[in-house]
Amino acid sequence: MQSSENEYLTIALPKGKLFPLAVDLFREAGISADGLTDSSRKLVITNEAQKVKFIISKTADVPTYVEYGAADIGIIGKDVLVESGQDVYELLDLGFGKCHLMMAVPKDKKRDKLTDYTHTRVATKFPHIAEKFFNEHGMQMEYIKLNGSIELGPIVGLSESIVDIVETGTTLKENNLEEIVHIMDASARLVANRVSFRLKFDRIYSLTEKMKQILTERAEGNK
């Protein structure tokens, strides 16, 4: 028994860097809505004709919306997804929003090897990923959760190191920090709620295939 054909497909999009890229991709895949900008005051933007609703949310909340089924699908960085620990289906690597998660320390205070940092303080926006990483190396650390400007940690003496995402490395350089370990690569992902994936399978599946095709064409165009 499915009545999903008449239902809305709800899409959660994160504010910030990924937003315009995500909107572009959806537009190319034939889905859009009037007034879809992340400066919009409206938090839910609906396209009645296409039976689509966009939810614009804080980056870290996208996995939550999707896991709880408040959104059927969403676009989110792999880093945020792993940190959230939310149980969602990961359908597609969108390739954009590429960055990597790493550990960095002040250049002048670099130690010989990773384990020399055991029991030191690490400032990060990603305490779960960091803890998992250090645990795998048998290291206990003191985690200091910050919400932005992580690089400040070592400068003001709040921590000995940082675990953060890096795109180009400019910020690190400007703050005299040096990457010492690569932790994981990240990029934007298309995610889906486990129930929506089944109840709205046809729509989600064809959208995924369309996006896959667009991404392949883009990749070929760049060659």
Partner 1 sequence: MKPMLKNSLKIPYGTRDFLPLEAACKRSIESSLMNLFTKWGYDEIVTPSIEYLDTLTIGNGQAIEPHMFKFFDRQNRTLALRHEMTTPIARVVASRMRDAVRPLKFSYVSNVFRYEQAQAGRQCEFYQAGVEFMGPSTAEADAEIIALAIQGLKQCGLENFTVCIGQIEFINGLMSEFNFSDETQINIREALEKRNLVKLHEIIEQTQLPERSKKILSSLPLLHGDKEILKKAWDIACNEQSRRALDNLSAIYQLLESYGVAEFVKFDLGVIRDFDYYTGMVFEIYTPEMGFPLCGGGRYDRMLSDFGAACPSTGFALGIERIMLAVEREGASSETLKKDCFVAYTPGKIKTAIESAQRKRNEGLVVELAPYAMTKEEAEAYQKEKKYASLLYVE
Footprint of partner 1 (CB under 8 A): 1-4, 7, 67-70, 87, 89-93, 189, 192-199, 201, 205
Q: Closest distance between partner 1 and the C-beta of residue 197, in Å?
A: 7
Are 77 and 99 spatial neighbours (Cβ–Cβ below 8 Å)? Answer: yes
* Residue among 6, 11, 35, 42 nearest 25 (CA): 11
What element of type H or E holds 172?
A: helix 170-174
Q: Closer CB to partner 1, residue 89 or residue 143?
A: 89
Q: Closer CB to partner 1, residue 195 or residue 219?
A: 195
For residues 121 and 61, what is the distance between their CA atoms, to the nearest angstrom? Answer: 27
Q: What is the DSSP string of 140-166?
A: --EEEE-SS-TTHHHHTTS-SEEEEEE
Q: Where are the beta strands (DSSP E) in the chain?
A: 9-14, 44-47, 52-57, 73-77, 89-93, 99-106, 121-124, 142-145, 161-166, 177-186, 188-192
Q: Closest distance between partner 1 and the C-beta of residue 193, in Å?
A: 5
Q: Closer CB to partner 1, residue 4 or residue 57?
A: 4
Q: Closer CB to partner 1, residue 101 or residue 150?
A: 101
Q: Closest distance between partner 1 and the C-beta of residue 2, in Å?
A: 6
Q: Closer CB to partner 1, residue 70 or residue 139?
A: 70
Q: Closest distance between partner 1 and the C-beta of residue 90, in Å?
A: 4
Are 208 and 74 spatial neighbours (Cβ–Cβ below 8 Å)? Answer: no
Q: Closest distance between partner 1 and the C-beta of residue 205, in Å?
A: 6
Are 24 and 68 spatial neighbours (Cβ–Cβ below 8 Å)? Answer: no
